[in-house]
Amino acid sequence: MRDVFLSYRKEDSTIAERVIKGLQAQGLSVWWDENLSSRSAWDAELEREIADAATVIVLWTPRSVQSEWVRIEAHYALEHGKLIPVLMEPCSIPLEFTLRQTVDLSDWHADNEHRHWRKLLAWIADLATAKSPSAAPRPALTAPANVFRSAVAHLASGEPVVEGTFVNASSPAGTAFRDGDGMPIVRIVPAGAFVIGSSATDPDRSVVEGPQKRIEIPMPFGIGVFPVLVAEYHATVRARPPAESPAAASMLPITNVSFLDANAFVRSLSANSGETYRLPSESEWEYACRAGSRRRYSFGDTIDATVAAFGRTAGPVAPGSFQANAFGLYDMHGNVREWTADLWHESYESTPLDGSPALEGHGSMRVVRGGGWSDSAPMLRSAARMRATESIRSHVIGFRVVRILA
């Protein structure tokens, strides 16, 4: 299996050769149309090679965007989850591909340290690893190493945190990354499906936790490893914490933030990073909390003070004080309740099946999830739902972020 099938316009041969040499210098195998055996075998050989390749790199230029062949190859790659679009010269990319991440090499001159060149190499390695016949399935808590990414920090567990520039929609579940100093660490959770809500056998079930329905999460996404910290919040919104606050408080989860404040934070985070951040939908939140479990809590049917912060009188604790769930996320149960994007509804009747937020209707109440440091155990269940007026600021409510990958 080749690492790369290169799609380009014949008039861009000089540009293509520069990319080919750069890829080959990294030990990657490349197929391009100079390898075609004969004109009569053109269609069959192209089809075979593009099907066999781990990735399809499409070089966009003002000439290639006019090429029917390049567009056909790009469509095939997109449908089969192996497309890597690369902008080689400024041009208008065809509309159907504009929602994809694009590697911008318009100012690349064969520099191996160019950030977007490194991003391209990391993306190829992610796809090649995923499509390798020998690649063993891994739990979402861990991610296979990628030689083209380097750690910018480490979690307390010793796990590396990589730079967000080199993360993409094909990066493996479990990858922990950060888009800049002082920004939240997020982890990729996989696409999948789950049943939202509580079962009739749950003794603490509330009528608002149903009816149960199957939700499909169609794409992987990044979600905060921890709730947003005080230091991260103030660094992003350019505000100073109160002068009397002890230094240790900066590493606690932010509270006393309204839904409106949380939304302003993710807008600022997006503007500062150049990436897309938002609040999780209620469905995404429960999916991330359960991490594949159908039990009342992500780790079983009971809970105590050895696994979560709840029933306290002294406020929240430092995130990461307890074990992570199977997706590598901390404090999904307890510590602080967390805002979600959904308008409050009394049931799941209007909850979309694709994981997007329920926004039909009007109102000032939003869904809050997870339970907090002062709550009782039933409020920490994976299915437990709470509501709060979107303008309210509470000492028990915080939030975590979602980062879009594509």
**199 closest CA partner among 335, 47, 382:** 382
Average pLDDT for 171-195: 96
Per-residue pLDDT, 141: 65
Rounded Cα distance, 26 and 41, in Å: 30
* Tens digit of each residue's pLDDT (9 = 90 or more) over 70-121: 999 999 999 999 999 999 999 999 988 887 789 999 999 999 999 999 999 9
> Does pLDDT of 205 surpass 50?
yes
Q: Do 122 and 148 form a contact (C-beta atoms < 8 A)? A: yes
Per-residue model confidence as pLDDT tens digits over 384-402: 999 999 999 999 999 999 9
Mean predicted confidence (pLDDT) in 304-333? 95
Q: Which pLDDT belongs to residue 248?
A: 62
Which domains, ranges and CATH numbers included, belong to the chain? 4-131 (3.40.50.10140), 151-403 (3.90.1580.10)
Residue 353: which pLDDT band, with cuts at 50, 70 and 90? very high
Bridge-based pairing state of the strands 4-7 and 30-31: parallel
Give the residue-averaged pLDDT of 250-267.
95
Q: Read off φ and ψ for residue 360, nearest 5 degrees.
A: -70, 145
**pLDDT, the chain, mean:** 91
- Mean predicted confidence (pLDDT) in 3-9: 95
- Model confidence pLDDT, tens digit, residues 285-317: 999 999 999 999 999 999 999 999 999 998 999
Specify the pLDDT at position 133: 56
Distances (CA, A) of 403 to 66, 128, 185: 33, 24, 10
pTM: 0.91
Tokens (6 digits) for 346:
């009394």
Virtual torsion, Cα 254, 264, 166, 62, nearest 10 deg: 180
Reduced to 3 states (helix: H, G, I; strand: E, B; else coil), residue 153 is strand
What pLDDT score does 40 carry? 46
Task: Write down the pLDDT at residue 244.
Answer: 46
Mean pLDDT on 359-381: 96
Q: Which of 11-20, 92-101, 286-295, 332-341 has the lowest mean pLDDT?
A: 92-101
For residue 139, is pLDDT > 90?
Answer: no
The whole-number pLDDT of residue 132 equals 64
Torsion, Cα 258 233 239 162, to 10 degrees, reads: -160
The reported pLDDT for the residue numbered 23 is: 97
What percent of the chain is predicted at pLDDT more than 90? 81
CA dihedral 281, 284, 286, 292 (to 10 degrees): 180
Residue 247 has pLDDT above 70, yes or no: no
pLDDT per position as a tens digit, 151-182? 999 999 899 999 999 999 899 999 999 999 99
Is 290 in contact with 301 (CB distance < 8 Å)? no
Average pLDDT, integer, range 330-339:
98
Contacts of 384 (CB under 8 A, 6+ apart): 198, 204, 206, 209, 369, 370, 371, 378
Name the DSSP class of 296.
S
d(Cα 258, Cα 298) in Å, to the nearest integer?
27
Instruction: Return the beta strands (E) in 51-150 as ranges.
Output: 55-60, 83-87, 103-104
Residue 372: C-alpha distances to residues 90, 332, 338 (Å)? 50, 10, 8
Cis omega (within 30 of 0) for bond into 62: no
